[in-house]
Amino acid sequence: MLLIPYLCSTFSYKINNLNHSWLAKRSTIMAQMNFGGVTETVVTSKEFSLEKAREVLGNETIAVIGYGIQGPGQAGNLRDNGFNVIVGQRPGKTYEKAVADGWEPGKTLFSIEEAVQKGTIICMLLSDAGQIAVWPKIKKYLTPGKTLYYSHGFAITWNDRTGVVPPKDIDVIMVAPKGSGTSLRTMFKEGRGLNCSYAVYQDATGHAEEKTIAFGIGIGAGYLFKTTFVKEATSDLTGERGSLMGAIEGLLEAQYDVLREHGHSPSEAFNETVEELTQSLMPLFAEKGMDWMYANCSTTAQRGALDWAPRFKSAIKPVMEWLYLSVKTGQEAQISIDSNSKEGYREGLNKELEAMRNMEMWQAAVTVRKLRPENEK
């Protein structure tokens, strides 16, 4: 008689183990994709559905800390996708923006410390300098089993400089959208997604990777690719200072200046430097690649570009190596920490941006944009 309960118990145990094993295998199914001859593993909503993401994070309270650049996009997308989200923000303009976006004080909008206390997944979406400043106040609320989430590897990668050292009994994860929070939100509303990298720095619960992928799906990632906190931080700082912002601004200014110094009008110089790039050529290589853009330009343009591209690469690559070394050694991180933590930094930044805005090239841009047919209505 004792044998039957034993057999039932054993059978139930094996079935439960089988189910857990199957679920574990199911959760790790990912797509193998060829990126220029290199096979990489990626995750999309086909492999990890929104429904599964809701299941994984169903009991979590996601506290989005900071409502500046990434905060509104990630918080809004998560809320619209059915997750339990609250926001933590200091009083001020961004707090009022959160209220305007539908976050209710005392219900879904709190002070930073209160939101960290209430949340089980703490999303550190303040600026890098802001994260350093609030860390001493919030780390005591990071109790065992909680999750500390980032969208940038800066604070953890250079924690010898930032002082951000998480407790060992929490998960530390990252999903890093490859674009601004504004783009993340806009593309989400359009039914599109922004590609994101993801990483696990610390897995105290044994479920950190599953939570990370679920979070990426929740914010509306196009596809997710795996990285580390260090690789994300170094590639991100290199990209921002390089082709995404710093290098492109320097290149555009140099060409515009040369054209103007040789007698070309502001309208002509701007159109040949910026307007044609952003309105005509970028959409082509964004759609089907650089060769597609070349194929849709004149033979004169093709020949000249093919001849000059290697010269620019030879001139620029040493600067890029210099930049990468400056990032890798932490020098760029220290410059950011020192400058961004200074009193009056925001006012100084606004003056720098105002000086850029008042440059002839970007003032010419204002007029050119007004003359676009879609803006003349």
Supply the residues annotated as catalytic.
Answer: 152
Residues in the chain: 377
Radius of gyration of the chain (CA): 25
Asked if 218 and 50 touch (Cβ cutoff 8 Å), the reply is yes
